[in-house]
Amino acid sequence: MKFSFSSEQDEFRSNLRRFLADRSPTKEVRRLMETDAGWERDGWQAMNAELGLTAVRIPEEYGGHGFGFGELCIVLEEMGRALLCAPFFATTVLAAGAILQAGTDEQKAALLPGIASGETVATLASVEDNGRWEADAVTLSADASGKLTGHKSFVIDGHTADLIVVLARGPAGLTFYTVNGNAAGLSRRLLKTMDPTRKLARLTFDGVQGAVLGTPGAAGPAYDRVMTEAAVCLTNEMVGGAERLREDALAYAMMRMQFGKPIASFQSMKHKHADMLLDVEMAKSAAYYAAAALDDGDADIVAMASLAKACASDAYSQTATHAVQIHGGIGFTWDNDTHLWYKRAKSSDVLFGDAFWHRENMMKHWAA
């Protein structure tokens, strides 16, 4: 459903929104973002057990609920709105996505139930110091026995994941390997990130034993697909954050008095808010369309995913800039919450390719 949600989906969303508003207020976001891990196992597992979030997109035969991207993206949009600090994206979008795309039936049966139950926290390590998201940029090598040597960087939750799916150059070409988070020869360093709510790590592999995931040499297309899915999922997370920023800025403008009236009554404010609404609603439309296009198996999904990601990148960044401006001086302070989403807007723009990259990618794949 590209243009609407079912009443079940609407209800799922509103329950989740209430739940996350209760469990992930900004006070909690601020507490967790100051920790090295960026999330807490007990708290996250309890929350996940109540709602079964990590099971949403896992097929039923592997212990999940078997929903599509439509539902997964509702979860992500609400998490983006609440800025939930949890290893959800890395585990269910990236790692589970790679396992579903590349893994054999046996591997899926072995790896996915742990992800569905929330026990296993996982991630995907593909990008390296060069910061390029394309498969052809991978240099980390694997020998015939599956020993991995090299490095990965910008790995989301890479320092805390139990299971790491690694994209490497093996004897047969690009191949996924799975590695345990505590494997011998693996060192993990938390990177200092501009956005403290999304932790990134640099991983060094010094002859780390990996297990081949799927067919050796066949990871390229599977990885491309996972990146397409990741772009769509992140887009939906982004529009949740953008809408929250817009609403908070509006609430502030309605309450803030200057010259004897609320600043929301000034036309300069009203016009800015109208523009923000347009930006956010258009980005939401693109995000919903792309999520449904994934479920529908549309042939032009690569172009549509890039379209949506570029649209949401610009909308989120612009909304964040406006939101700081509308708050004035207070919006530039650490104590005001606006900067939490401002930083998330920027980190989301860069992850999996920025707006410029996705616009070019869209042009390459646009159905002529």
Partner 1 sequence: MTELTEESVRAECRAWLEANWDPNLGLVEWRMKLAESGWGNPHWPTKWYGRDLPAGLMPVVEEEFKRIGAIGVAKAGIRVLAAATILEHGTDMHKEKFLLRIMTGEDTWCQLFSEPGSGSDVAGAVTRAEMKGNQWIVNGQKVWTTSAHKAHWGLLLARTDWDARKHAGLSYFIIDMKQPGVQVHPLRQMNGHASFNQVFMTDAKVEPEFLVAGVGDGWAVTTTTLMHERRGADGVRSWGQGSADRPERAYVEERAEIATVMEPYKWYPQRAGRVDLILPRAKETGALADPVVRQEIAKLLIMTKAAEWTARRARTAQEQGRPQGPEGSLGKLASSHIARAAARVHTQMTGANALLTGEDSPMNGVIAEILVSVPATSIAGGTDEIQRNIISERVLKMPRERTGDSDKPFKDVPRNTVA
H-helix or E-strand containing 168? strand 163-170
CA–CA distances in Å: residue 229 to residues 20, 294, 298: 24, 8, 13
Rg (CA), the chain: 20
Alpha carbons 261 and 151: distance in angstroms, whole number: 57
* Binding track over 258-297 against partner 1, x by CB under 8 A: ---xx-xx-x-xxx-xxx-xx--xxx-xx-xx--------
Tokens matching residue 31: 């507490």
The CB-of-260 to partner 1 minimum distance in angstroms stands at 12
Alpha carbons 160 and 43: distance in angstroms, whole number: 15
> Which one of 1-9, 130-138, 232-240, 323-331 is the stretch in contact with partner 1 (CB under 8 A)?
1-9
The CB-of-101 to partner 1 minimum distance in angstroms stands at 26
Residue 55: closest CA among 103, 101, 119, 3:
119
Nearer to partner 1, 332 or 356 (CB): 356
Binding-site size for partner 1 (CB under 8 A) equals: 36
* Binding track over 296-335 against partner 1, x by CB under 8 A: -----------x--xx------------------------
Alpha carbons 180 and 151: distance in angstroms, whole number: 15
The CB-of-319 to partner 1 minimum distance in angstroms stands at 14
φ/ψ (deg, to 5) at 309:
-65, -45
Residue 164: closest CA among 144, 190, 182, 143:
182
250 binds partner 1 (CB under 8 A): yes
H-helix or E-strand containing 212? strand 211-213
4 binds partner 1 (CB under 8 A): yes
134 binds partner 1 (CB under 8 A): no
Nearer to partner 1, 21 or 278 (CB): 278
88 binds partner 1 (CB under 8 A): no
254 binds partner 1 (CB under 8 A): yes
356 binds partner 1 (CB under 8 A): yes
φ/ψ (deg, to 5) at 5:
-115, 150
CA–CA distances in Å: residue 315 to residues 200, 275, 312: 24, 10, 5
144 binds partner 1 (CB under 8 A): no
> Which one of 25-33, 39-47, 198-206, 359-367 is the stretch in contact with partner 1 (CB under 8 A)?
359-367
18 binds partner 1 (CB under 8 A): no
CB count within 10 Å of CB 358 equals 24
* Chain residues in the site for partner 1 (CB under 8 A): 2-4, 250, 253-254, 261-262, 264-265, 267, 269-271, 273-275, 277-278, 281-283, 285-286, 288-289, 307, 310-311, 356, 359-360, 362-363, 366, 368
